[in-house]
Amino acid sequence: MGTGSDAVRASGSSQLAGRVAVITGAGRGIGREHALLFAAEGASVVVNDLGGSNSGEGSDAGPAHEVVAAIRAAGGTAVANTEDVATWDGAKSLVAQAVDEFGRLDVVVNNAGILRDGFIATLTESDWDAVIAVHLKGHFSVLRHAAEYWKAQSKAGEQPLASVINTASGSGTTLPNAGQSNYGSAKAAIAALTLVAADELERYGVRVNAIAPIARTRLTLATPGMGTLMAEPEEEGEVDLFSPANISPLVAYLATEKCPVTGRVYAVQGGAISRLAGWHDVDTIETDGLWDIDDIAARLPRT
First to last CA, the chain: 46
Using an 8 Å Cβ cutoff, are 79 and 97 in contact?
A: yes
Around Cβ 243, how many Cβ atoms within 10 Å? Answer: 21
DSSP 8-class letter at 265: E
Write down the pTM of the prediction. Answer: 0.90
Element (H or E) spanning 214, and its range?
strand 206-214
pLDDT score of 1: 33
**Strands (DSSP E) found in 215-264:** none
pLDDT score of 158: 96
Element (H or E) spanning 9, and its range?
helix 5-11
User: Active-site residues: which are they?
Assistant: 183
Beta bridge partners of 107: 21, 163
pLDDT score of 18: 97
Give per-10-residue mean pLDDT for the chain (303 aa).
42 86 97 98 98 90 97 98 98 98 98 96 98 98 98 97 97 91 97 98 98 79 60 68 90 97 94 91 94 95 85
Beta bridge partners of 162: 206
pLDDT score of 270: 84
pLDDT score of 220: 64
Nearest Cα to 31, choosing from 142, 184, 175, 150? 142
Amino acid at 249: P
The set of residues, in sequence order, having a beta carbon less than 8 Å from that of 220 and lying 6+ positions away, is 214, 226, 230
pLDDT score of 219: 64
pLDDT score of 3: 40
pLDDT score of 5: 47
